[in-house]
Amino acid sequence: MRKSIPQFASEDEERDFWASQDATEYIDFSEARPALFPNLKPSTVTVSVRLPESLLDSLKVLAHKKDVPYR
């Protein structure tokens, strides 16, 4: 039998709870279905920053090592 999920007074309280608990004790993931979130906005923002060329070159190398696209 699964444990019941408690009521939370705030998102912070809920976040702390789930950070310290094993979710499989509360939720049967065998019945989970994929979810679509069509109204989510991109989580990145484009900014322009002037940098010394040497720093930019170093950042490009680091991005490549971490497999993060430069642009």
Tens of pLDDT, residue by residue over 9-57, are 999 999 999 999 999 999 999 989 999 988 888 788 888 999 999 999 9
| pLDDT (0 to 100) of residue 46 | 84
* Alpha-carbon gap, residue 3 to 18, rounded angstroms: 13
Is the pLDDT reported for residue 65 higher than 80?
yes
Q: Which residue has the higher pLDDT, 40 or 58?
A: 58
| pLDDT (0 to 100) of residue 1 | 77
Residue 30: C-alpha distances to residues 1, 5, 24, 26, 27 (Å): 14, 17, 10, 12, 9
Place of tokens 């004790």: 25
| pLDDT (0 to 100) of residue 64 | 94
Range 39-68 burial, b when 16+ CB lie within 10 A, else e: eeeeeeeeeeeeeeeeeeeeeeeeeeeeee
Q: Which residue has the higher pLDDT, 20 or 68?
A: 20
